[in-house]
């Protein structure tokens, strides 16, 4: 069982905040590619760190930083970009189909409570 650093809701909010700040910086710098790869990777890594998913955080940083570095510094091999994408896809595939259920009872309860709160807000 994972010992979260914060709730899932706060982790998602913090990751979204990092994403928005990153996109704002990309607007200022006018450098969308490959900067967006770094922004997406950092926001995913923040969420995974706060949810104590350290291996997933390392994979996100490896893949998205690898894409960023490969494109930013114009490495000449045409294999680098596809390699990072294939590694990422295989990681997600094997994690989802062979990693078992990562949803704990407290997560299910938190999701249910969130749905109940949303239903209450939607009522007149």
User: What is the model's pTM?
Assistant: 0.72
Phi, psi of 80 (to 5 degrees): -65, -55
Taking residues 18-28, report their average pLDDT. Answer: 96
Q: Is residue 69 part of a domain?
A: yes
| pLDDT for position 116 | 74
Q: Is residue 1 part of a domain?
A: no
CA distance 26 to 46: 18
- Please, what is the average pLDDT of the chain? 84
Q: Is residue 122 part of a domain?
A: no
Taking residues 89-104, report their average pLDDT. Answer: 77
Domain with 32, as residue range(s), is 8-96
Pure H helices in the chain = 8-29, 35-50, 54-72, 80-98, 105-122
Q: What is the pLDDT of residues 66-82, one digit of tens each?
A: 999 988 888 877 888 88
CA distance 40 to 18: 9
How many domains, in total, are found in the chain?
Answer: 1
């Amino acid at each position: 069982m994972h010992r979260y650093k914060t709730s899932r809701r706060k982790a998602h909010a913090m990751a979204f905040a990092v994403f928005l700040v990153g996109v704002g910086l990309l607007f200022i710098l006018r450098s969308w590619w490959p900067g967006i790869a770094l922004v997406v990777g950092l926001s995913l890594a923040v969420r995974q760190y706060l949810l104590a998913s350290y291996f997933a955080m390392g994979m996100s940083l490896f893949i998205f930083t690898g894409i960023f570095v490969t494109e930013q510094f114009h490495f000449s091999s045409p294999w680098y970009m596809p390699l990072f994408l294939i590694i990422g896809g295989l990681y997600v595939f094997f994690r989802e189909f062979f990693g078992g259920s990562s949803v704990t009872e407290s997560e299910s309860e938190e999701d249910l409570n969130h749905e109940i709160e949303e239903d209450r807000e939607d009522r007149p």
